[in-house]
Amino acid sequence: MDFRSLFRTARSVDTEPAPSPAPPAGAGARTFNADPSRAWLSGEWLFDQSHSTIGFAARHALVTRVRGSFTDFDGWLRLDGERPERSGVGVVVRTATIDTRVAQRDRHLCSADFLDVERYPTITFSSTHTEQVGEDRFRMTGALTIKDRTHPVTIDLLYTGLVVDAFGVERIGFDGTAIVNRSQWDLTWNAVLETGGLMVSEEIELEFDISAVRAP
């Protein structure tokens, strides 16, 4: 799947932004406010996979949390520094790259009990609405598709800054979280504990730590 095409179908970016000027020389972290002085944040950005994490956490056996992530994904971010509500994102995740640091558990998660990666090799997210809710905080709603089932998800985002790194590359960062109920996407496998309760929580916390570089 072409993740750029996925992104460009998002309703939140129905108009192309104007080309963005270069950031001021020696720029450190900058606040992403709806202000013309932030126009240099505008443009398209590619997720840097080697410095980003798309992960999740689930409660296991009621008493602990299991965390995992996906090691192969693409993301395409478009920002509008003057009108943040026009910003959005498209993401494609390869399901077979799930990693919880336990091989047996990863195989189970890849099986038909959960992600069924042979039939459904990708998870996709395409934003539909973005709003600024604080100085550096945003709320993004979009369509999350898993196993050919699509439901809306709202992600709380924190803008962590923009820098020019040691190699002269513009790099922007966001952290994000969302809570979803896995049963909406037919991720329903579970087991009943002898003491009562379920082995795996229905609620899953999605976690994002994104570093993106300006697209050429």
| Lowest model confidence (mean pLDDT) among 119-133, 142-156, 172-186, 197-211 | 197-211
Please report, rounded to a whole number, the percentage of residues in the chain having pLDDT higher than 70. 75
- Position 4 pLDDT exceeds 50: no
pLDDT of residue 206: 96
- For 103, the enclosing helix (H) or strand (E) is helix 103-110
- Nearest residue to 97 via CA among 131, 74, 77, 66: 74
Closest CA to 131 of 103, 106, 156: 156
**pLDDT tens digit sequence for 44-100:** 999 999 999 999 998 754 567 889 999 999 999 999 988 889 999 999 999 999 999
pLDDT at position 64 is 76
